[in-house]
Structure 1
């Protein structure tokens, strides 16, 4: 099955999920206008992205079962897809709230949910409902499974970890008060590990592992020890592309410099600047005008940050490959899960 066909099949499961949530609200005797509102929020905020996190649950499950996603039986595909959509609901919850915190204007090529006419601060409650839907669906479909509590624990822990990353990001990189003294590569590592790596890389794999029954603490640790640094590499790559990639290449205009982001690129630069270069950064980083942004980009080129990135990339990929080679497959975990993730990230250009 090609990528588009796999995505189309996955999206069909979302339509069923929405119907189930509508039925649950109907059983609560919720007025139709409120059901319609929640439906609109679900449709607007959940299925519009690349869906990589959700699809990764199905792909990982299939690998661990020794098959391919198109050969999974209907019932096991539906359960794996449901866990995938629970991650996408978690993502939607994070993004609706994140856009309000950052006062963002657009998301996935359309206005942020809180900026849609008539929504405003109701989006705060909508974000809570997107998260709450996860646990309603888990209860309905997994209550009888012996790993049900493991799923709940995992979603709760990863949600908290992501919020810790968001907290450090918010207090470190305030758009209104630029202070580069708050930045460091250590802080960047914590932010991206907790804000991105756990829910984007570890969560899809761990969910699949629980479903298959390959979920000893040793195997979960094997997965975590590789997927977390892989997730950090992914975000560093994202930071790099935001600054050095073209809009045609990455599908958007990079804004990290203007938004005062605590990115890997600026932290790497801060470790290399002399006094005059630091002054230039302090005067231009986080400013909203194109001229200041260009001065910062020119400084990054002068400091050869691009060269540093490619050295880092080869180093981390070599390290991850060595770790994958040492994975113990005796209990049912498979190296292929990890090589598949690494293959999607290495030399990514968008």
Structure 2
């Protein structure tokens, strides 16, 4: 089954999930108006992205079980797909809330949910409902499993870790009060590890591991020790592409400079600037106009940030490959799980 077919099979499970949540609402005697609202919330905010996190659960499970997607029984596929959709619900919860906090205008090619007609601040409650749906579904499908509590603990812990990363991002990079003295590579590392790496890289693999019965702390630590730095590398790559990639490459117009983001690129620049260059950054970074953005981009090029990035990428990829080679597979963990993640990221252009 090719990637497009796998994606379609995964999307096909979403309707079943929505139907289950509709039934839960009806069992609570919710009026049809509320059921319809819940349905629209789920459909508008959950399935529209790349679905990489959800699909990674299935990919990891298949590698660990030495199976293909085609060879999974219907019941087996439904359960692992449900864990994948649980991450996508978590992602939807984060994005609905994040868009309100950032006062963003669009998400995935459509107006942000809080800007959709008739929604407004109801979106705050809707974000809570997206998160709550995770635990309704986990209870229904996994309560009898020996790893049920592990799933709950994992989702709760990773959710809190992501919220800590969001907090640091919000207090470090206030769009209304630009202060580059607040930035540092240490803060950037904390933000990207907690805001992105745990739920985007560690969570999908750990969920599949639990379902496969690979649950020793030694194996979970092996995975964390590789996937967290790999997730940091992914975000640094994202920061770099936001500035130096083309809209055709990355599928969007980069906005980190205008949004006063505490990105890897600006932190590298701050380590190299002289007094005159720092003044230029202070006067132009975080400004909403195109001219200021171009001045900053020109400075980044003068500081040779692309060469610094290439050196960083070569170093970190070499270290990650070395760590993957040293993985102990004696308890069922497989190096291929980690190699597959690295292969998706290395030298990507979008």
TMscore range, shorter length: over 0.9
Which residue of the partner structure matches residue 90 of structure 1? 90
Which residue of the partner structure matches residue 224 of structure 1? 224
Deviation (angstroms), 1:270: 0.4
Report SS of the residue matched to 1:265. helix
Give the CA RMSD over aligned residues.
0.4
Which residue of the partner structure matches residue 321 of structure 2? 321
Which residue of the partner structure matches residue 163 of structure 2? 163
Q: State the TM-score, normalizing by the size of structure 2.
A: 1.00
Which residue of the partner structure matches residue 72 of structure 1? 72
Deviation (angstroms), 1:73: 1.2
Displacement over 2 Å in runs of 4+: none
Structure 1 residues without counterparts, runs of 5 or longer = none
Alignment coverage as a number of residue pairs: 350
| Partner Cα distance (2:282, 2:70) in 1 | 53
Cα deviation code 1:138-169 (max 9, x no counterpart): 00000000000000000000000000000000
| Partner Cα distance (1:17, 1:157) in 2 | 24
> Quick check: 1:292 aligned with 2:292?
yes
| Partner Cα distance (2:333, 2:225) in 1 | 14
Which residue of the partner structure matches residue 28 of structure 1? 28
Cα deviation code 1:237-287 (max 9, x no counterpart): 000000000011111000000000000000010011011000000000000
| Partner Cα distance (2:105, 2:62) in 1 | 38
Which residue of the partner structure matches residue 53 of structure 2? 53
Which residue of the partner structure matches residue 342 of structure 2? 342
Structure 2 residues without counterparts, runs of 5 or longer = none
Q: Counterparts in 2 of 1:178-257, with a 5 A limit?
A: 178-257=178-257
Report SS of the residue matched to 1:13. helix
| Partner Cα distance (2:330, 2:75) in 1 | 27
Report SS of the residue matched to 1:283. helix
Which residue of the partner structure matches residue 41 of structure 2? 41
Cα deviation code 1:288-332 (max 9, x no counterpart): 000000000000000000110011001000000000000000000
> Quick check: 1:11 aligned with 2:11?
yes
